[in-house]
Structure 1
């Protein structure tokens, strides 16, 4: 489907429908059901991990706006969000409308070059890209290389930002001031309530991505039990 413009997306909610390895929630049918429930209740789109889950949601929700990624781990690199060309191709072939990829300054597996990957994605696939970044600088670089969407996804999750706690509100206003009007700016990571989502928009984000607080059954239950056990202990 054609990707909506920044103006059309303004104020929207993207639900990240993911589940950890080993969870019964990770079954493609369960992921697709959660995605459909999110869309039926007004979500602008969904963010999905793995070609299998992207394909399942595309089959069940043919008109959904899907941001796709593939988490892959390699011993020589800490980059794991759609790190290689093969992963980009697989996410696109599965039916994603936008491909999310790590756009930090970290070394990629096989020492792949971010600029070359972005250029190849545009030339060979014509794929819109979402840059998952951890800093203002990396967000601006990603946009200059051709990423149409920039998200604060990795703020607090890289070696350089490990001491910081998401949401990355502090990135949003400076990025919005310096990014082109055509680039969609997204706050993702650490959004735990409707109020924190609203704050992201107040800082200047166009869209908000919420995952665990909506679809993270495993982590939410564990968090409740940890708190209850502290009190009872």
Structure 2
């Protein structure tokens, strides 16, 4: 693949003051196919976002190739992998780009920035955060985006060499676990911005445009929005929860056998055929 990497200054400039849209889907969800991830990505770019956060090697490779063909100018891609960790273990296990090998695959697929777990939880290859960041810089030439949950983790990540610090995991670790309806970590953002020289990103639990506005007023370099834009089932759930009870109950559908296979067949066919 042609070298896609840009300088740190070019990437920082491309992201400054921008909305980054996270286009992801979990295995078994209707949108979990590279063609759908591409469609979400193109829709987000057409809406004016300044970058994409994507999960999965094949998704990133496919989106990178198509975006570079379809758009003039530089579209930064933040790449990550997610380990197959049971939901009940995610509070205590590192699952976002948990090894250097995964980072290597992301760079080869076309990611400009490697997002990784910077919470201090054990990485699958047992490398320290600082060791991982140093290898990514030296061997891959990519920037490192540190997904953090606390102020101390953000400080540690910056000291370890992370180029960007994000509030991504606020509310998603054992130490910071919060109900789903709690808003983004704006106080954490404010504290990190006041102490760090590297760009700080607000990410996680952003559902309202007003939260994005407040984040930029607090000094965020960029803001990432995912579920509120690209996860229709979660958006629908929020509306369903607003229906007065017991006047209405959610309809319960059961996926048919071979559900995932059927979704793949649908995804591989052309729209409208």
TM-score, L = length of structure 2: 0.79
Give the superposed CA RMSD: 1.9
Larger displacement relative to structure 2 (218-227 or 32-41): 218-227
Name the counterpart of 1:144. 159
Deviation at 1:74, TM superposition (A): 5.1
- Aligned match for 1:174, one of 187, 191, 208: 191
Listed one character per residue, the Cα deviations across residues 150-188 of structure 1 (whole Å, up to 9, x for unaligned) are 1000000001111474411111222112111xx221000
Could you tell me whether the CA contact under 8 Å between 1:74 and 1:109 is conserved in 2? no
Alpha-carbon distance between aligned partners in 1 of 2:245 and 2:64, rounded to the nearest angstrom: 42
Higher helix share: 1
Larger displacement relative to structure 2 (69-78 or 15-24): 69-78
Name the counterpart of 1:33. 39
Larger displacement relative to structure 2 (59-68 or 44-53): 59-68
Alpha-carbon distance between aligned partners in 2 of 1:20 and 1:53, rounded to the nearest angstrom: 12
Alpha-carbon distance between aligned partners in 2 of 1:83 and 1:229, rounded to the nearest angstrom: 42
Listed one character per residue, the Cα deviations across residues 54-84 of structure 1 (whole Å, up to 9, x for unaligned) are 0111111014210000001358961100001
Paired residue secondary structure (2:243): helix
Name the counterpart of 2:177. 162
| Structure 1: runs of 5+ lacking an equivalent | none
Could you tell me whether the CA contact under 8 Å between 1:134 and 1:154 is conserved in 2? yes
Measured at CA, do residues 53 and 5 of structure 1 come closer, stay the same or move farther in structure 2, by a change above 3 Å? closer
Larger displacement relative to structure 2 (171-180 or 79-88): 171-180
Name the counterpart of 1:96. 111
Name the counterpart of 1:44. 50
Could you tell me whether the CA contact under 8 Å between 2:11 and 2:76 is conserved in 1? no
Measured at CA, do residues 174 and 91 of structure 1 come closer, stay the same or move farther in structure 2, by a change above 3 Å? same
Listed one character per residue, the Cα deviations across residues 19-63 of structure 1 (whole Å, up to 9, x for unaligned) are 122112111011101101111221100100001110111111014
Deviation at 1:231, TM superposition (A): 5.6
Could you tell me whether the CA contact under 8 Å between 2:157 and 2:165 is conserved in 1? yes
Deviation at 1:8, TM superposition (A): 4.8
TM-score, L = length of structure 1: 0.92
Aligned residues: 231
Could you tell me whether the CA contact under 8 Å between 1:36 and 1:60 is conserved in 2? no
Could you tell me whether the CA contact under 8 Å between 1:70 and 1:82 is conserved in 2? yes
Paired residue secondary structure (1:22): coil
Alpha-carbon distance between aligned partners in 2 of 1:232 and 1:218, rounded to the nearest angstrom: 21
Could you tell me whether the CA contact under 8 Å between 2:22 and 2:53 is conserved in 1? yes
Name the counterpart of 2:79. 68
Listed one character per residue, the Cα deviations across residues 91-134 of structure 1 (whole Å, up to 9, x for unaligned) are 11111010100001222224332111111111111110100001
Paired residue secondary structure (2:156): helix
Measured at CA, do residues 166 and 79 of structure 1 come closer, stay the same or move farther in structure 2, by a change above 3 Å? farther
